[in-house]
Structure 1
Amino acid sequence: MAAAGSYIVSAPQWILTYSGVNITADVSPMVLAIRYIDRIDAASGELELELEDSTKLWQGPWYPALGDVVSLQIGYSGGPLLDCGEFQIDEIELDGPPDVMRLRCLAAYITSAMRTANTVAYENVGIVEIAGQIARKYGLTLVTASSESENDVVFARVTQRRQMDLEFLKRLAREHNFDFTVRAGQLIFYERPALESVAAAAVITRSDTVRFSFRNRTRRIYDAAIFSYFDPDTKELISQSVPAEQPAPTGDTLKIVARCENAGQAQVKAEAALHFHNMVLVDASIEGPGNAVLVAGNNVQLSGWGALDGKYLIESAKHQLARATGYSTSIAARRVDA
């Protein structure tokens, strides 16, 4: 799996810091495996460290504290390293014999404040600005496409009722065809079509893989969507219909009844719901040599599988460095050019 226009450097490299201190050299002889999982769709990243502890250091003077902050960079020597961000130790597990310590870590941005349910009313504001307000609240930098202000959905009033901020933002994003993730101090917030239109960051061929699987389905794939809402001014039930970009093999229609403010919002919600269901028409799972380019939100070009070839959006990526198998990356992706 090579980034377009580059080549693979064979020596993996990683940098691990603990409470701001680089401990890579100290722990290298102990590391059995490092696993980093990256996702979109508002899901937080995860980090797991698996350490051989025959010296009992991790059970004694090095015993970690829950909540301690660790960070990881991973890639190949001489190339750019993937900044996985900061994580807090959430769970400590000791197995034996032989003695193995596992540190399971969650993204450090998930603070107690972020886990608190809030009630907030937003008025005359767009969905991208709401994402920006939530990002600033937690010291995150909002990253979005420059053109999205043109496609932003503006609400006369939308209320977050007893929800955590990211739960509320996830609901808005899903209803209006956006995706987001938080990584390395950034809230990355994009329209799904904008993500899908970006050029492939890497080409993956059959010979690049250790294993693969594809799935092509018709269940819950729709030919059109109809969104109906009650108009408080006319006292009528208004319906907005949108067709799928590609005819669905089932010919089924997705029907939704929900609240919205106007016909424009109804159309956006109908398009979003249709896209959400139909975007999983073809998906793939690929495992191969480690590649720091393969992160959630990037597109890849798959080649060598005939009718299943095409551009795929990475929805999750797992990077693993293991003493037994070296550096590997596995991805779950969905086709975006069908």
Structure 2
Amino acid sequence: MAATTSYTVRSPQWILTYSGVNISADVSQMVVAIRYVDRLDGASGELEVEIEDSTKLWQGAWYPTLGDIVSLQIGYSGDLLLDCGEFQIDELELDGPPDVMRLRCLAAYITNAMRTANTVAYENVGIVEIAQQIATKYGLVLVTASSESESDVLFARVTQRRQMDLEFLKRLAREHNFDFTVRAGQLVFYERPALESVAATVVIVRSDTIRFSFRNRSRRIYGAAQFSYFDPDTKELITQSVSADQASPTGDTLKIVARCENAQQAQLKAEAALHLHDMVLVDASIEGPGNAALVAGSNVQLSGWGVLDGKYLIETAKHHLARATGYRTSIAARRISA
């Protein structure tokens, strides 16, 4: 008799909490799909829950209240679930027939106060300290790498003029080569090189994917950057230059003229601007079976695509659990090393 091979089929699991109450068992037969989007670069996460409502419960006694708090954990039974954090119901949509209610939710930390534009002057502080002050203001825990170079980004004075706090922090981050995201009560604030240096947490091979696409471009990819600023003490135009770590398809030089306080900041801004352009030399979109380890800001190793193989940093992760397709995860990522 031929030997048989058995395979363990993992069972997707999700835990949905509404206003602090676990409603997973009550709604498990009604939920058609759950979609969670996790983003890097200062963007907030999103959650959508699609519910079959032939009983009209969600149009009556169970009709949700805008602003109510919903939280989600997703993954597989027996494994550590991905904590997606808390969300606030922002929009309700009813379609039919058949009757389907959709709860569209935004990250709960986006409060009215956080949507308010502020004018604040920061003096003699570093960029990480500014991130800490903003995190503390909204009850978030700052998570950052322990790196000496982070404390080097110091400002004698930097002003937030009629901007929302996270909008201001995003501008500072982009100008000085940082990335951040807010997830599950944490403000994760890292230098891009520190994020990119972390080992890949997952290996994705071609045979494990459902669909994929890659893009390799030359437009606005530079071989060097020059940042020039006017020094008020010497009355001279000072230029700082940096070169790319990888060969540019065009060899073009990115030239920037802007205000800054000193040569050190000019150097950092030149590096940040060059990195911001060149980091999209190769990017990928991958969809495969659900994987709770795939989150924005983590690194993965892609294998099976020849010269496009390498280590990639995830900028967006979308987790989609549906009756028709099961649990799937799709990522948008950029290559950081071949």
Name the TM-score, length of structure 1 as normaliser: 0.97
2:283 alignment counterpart: 283
3-state SS of 2:57 partner = coil
Equivalent-residue separation in structure 1 for 2:255 and 2:137 (angstroms): 36
Structure 1 residues without counterparts, runs of 5 or longer: 1-6
Matched, 1:88 2:68: no
Percent sequence identity over matched residues? 86
Q: Is there any run of 5+ residues in structure 2 with no aligned partner, and where?
A: 1-6
* Cα distance in 2 for residues equivalent to 1:21 and 1:63: 16
Q: Distance in 2 between matches of 1:139 and 1:275?
A: 31
Q: Residues 140 and 185 of structure 1 are in contact (CA less than 8 Å); yes or no, is this contact kept in structure 2?
A: yes
Partner of 1:133: 133
Counterpart of 2:212 in structure 1 is 212
Is the 2:290–2:327 contact (alpha carbons within 8 Å) kept by the matching residues of 1?
A: yes
Encode CA deviations 1:219-239: one digit per residue, 9 max, x unaligned: 000010000001111111111
For 2:35, the equivalent position in structure 1 comes to: 35
Match of 2:110 in 1: 110
Bigger shift: 20-29 or 244-253?
A: 244-253
Q: Which residue of 2 aligns with 1:309?
A: 309
Residue in 2 that maps onto 1:45: 45
C-alpha contact 2:299 2:311 (8 A) present in aligned 1: yes
Separation in structure 2 between the aligned mates of residue 150 and residue 99 of structure 1, nearest angstrom: 52
| 1:93–1:102 contact (8 Å) kept in structure 2 | yes
Query: Deviations along 1:185-223, whole A, 9 cap, x unmatched?
Result: 000000000000100010000011000000000000001
**2:199 matched to 1:199?**
yes
**Cα distance, 1:152 vs structure 2:** 3.3
Q: Secondary structure at the match of 2:121?
A: strand
Q: Matches of 1:41 and 1:78 in 2, distance apart?
A: 32
Distance 1:93 1:148 in 2: 49
Deviation of 1:301 after TM superposition, in Å, equals 0.3
Give the partner amino acid of 2:68: D
What pairs with 1:151-300 in structure 2 (closer than 5 Å)?
151-300=151-300
In structure 2, C-alpha distance between the alignment counterparts of 1:14 and 1:245, rounded to whole Å = 42
Q: SS of the residue aligned with 2:160?
A: strand
CA distance in 1 between partners of 2:91 and 2:316 (Å): 22
SS in 2 for 1:102: strand
Q: How many residues align?
A: 332
Shift of 1:150: 4.9
Question: For the aligned residues, what is the CA RMSD?
Answer: 1.1
Name the SS for the 2:233 alignment partner.
Answer: coil
Whether 2:303 is the aligned partner of 1:321: answer no
Runs (4 or more) in structure 1 with deviation over 3 Å come to 148-152
What is residue 3 of structure 1 aligned with on the other side? none
SS in 2 for 1:98: coil
- Matched-pair contact (CA < 8 Å) for 2:128–2:150: no
Query: CA-to-partner distance for each residue in 1:287-335, whole Å, 9 max, x for gaps?
Result: 0000000000000000000000000000000001101110000000000
Aligned 8 A contact 2:126 2:151 in 1: no
Evaluate the alpha carbon distance shift between residue 9 and residue 234 of structure 1 in structure 2; reply closer, same or farther with a 3 A threshold. farther
The residue type paired with residue 203 of structure 2 is V
